[in-house]
Structure 1
Amino acid sequence: MTFTIVLAIVFGVLFLLAYMTRRRFGVLTLALAAGSILADLWSSEATPYVANLGIVIIRPPLVDVVAVILTLAPSLILLFSGPAASNKFQRIGGSVIFAVLAVVLMFEPLENALVVDEFGKQIVSRINASYAIIVTVCLVLSIIDVLQTHVRRNESKKKSKE
C-alpha cells in the first residue's frame, strides 16, 4: 500500500502545483517528455558526479533520485512562466494531464526506489500494460494545447492588421 500512497501523493502534489500556477499544460507536459529523455540519456552518467558532490543515498538508489530530478526539472522551470489557462476547466484538465504524465514518466524510478506490495504490483502491471497509450494520449493533447495557444495569438495579430 505504501507504493500506492506515494504515487497518490506525487500525483496530488504535481496536480496542485500545476493548478495553483495556472499554467496551460501543453508546454509543461512537453517539458516532462524532454526531461524523461534527459533522464534516460544522462541519469546513470550524472549519478557519479552527484555522488562526488557528497550526496550519498542508499535507499532509494541515487540513480533513481537523479532520474526523477532530471524528469521533473524542465517542467518545474517552465511552471513559473508561459501561457496561463483561462478558466477553471482548463486548469483542472491540464493539471490532471500533467500529473498523470509525470507519474507515468517517473514510474520506473519510483518503482525501483520503493517497495512494491501486492496491491502495488497490480498497479504496476496495469500501468506497464497501458504505458504507451497514456504517454501518447497525453503528448497528443499537449501538442493540441500548444497549437491552440499559438493559433489564438496569430489570429488576433492578423485581425488587428486588417
Structure 2
Amino acid sequence: MISKGKIFLKKPRSRKCFGCGVENPIGLKLRFYCEGDIVKSDVTLGDLYEGWGNMAHGGIISTLLDETMSWAVMYFKRVLFVTRRMELKYIRPVLVGTPLCVNARIVSEGRGPLINVRGEVRDAKGGLLVRGSGEFAALSPDKLIDVPQEEKEEMLALFNEF
C-alpha cells in the first residue's frame, strides 16, 4: 500500500544518479522513506519508461528494485557497496501511469561483506507485481577507486544523518 505521512530520507547532493538524482532530466527522481525495517519509494512511471504498449519497461522496473534495495543497505547498514547480483520475478504487468510502492528489506548477511536484500513492487491496492532479491557487497572507500573522493566522503557523512 502507498503510505501517507512519510518522512523522507535525506539524499546526497550528487544529483545525476538515474535512480534518485534530482537533476537528471531522464532519471526516476525516487524519494525514500522508512516504515520499520523496510525502505519504501512511491512512484508513478510515465510513458517515457514504457516498453510494450502501456507497460513499464522491465529494465526500468529492475532499476526501481535495485535502487530501493540499495537504499535499504545504505540506511540500515551505513556502508559503501556495489550491487553484486539481482534476480527478479515479474508476476503481473506494471502499467505506466499506475501508482506503485517499491519496498526493500535486508534479510541476511552473507559470507564476508555480502548483504542480502529482498524487494517488491506493489500497486496502490497492495497487489504484488514484481518481487526480487539482491546481493550487495560492502566495500571500503579505497576499493571504490573510480568514485570521486568527494562523493565517497559525502555518502559517509550522510550515514551519520540517518
Instruction: Kindly indicate which of the two structures has a greater share of residues assigned to strand.
Output: 2
**Higher Cα Rg: structure 1 or 2?**
1
TM-score (norm 2): 0.27
Higher relative contact order (CA 8 A, sep 6+): 1
TM-score (norm 1): 0.27
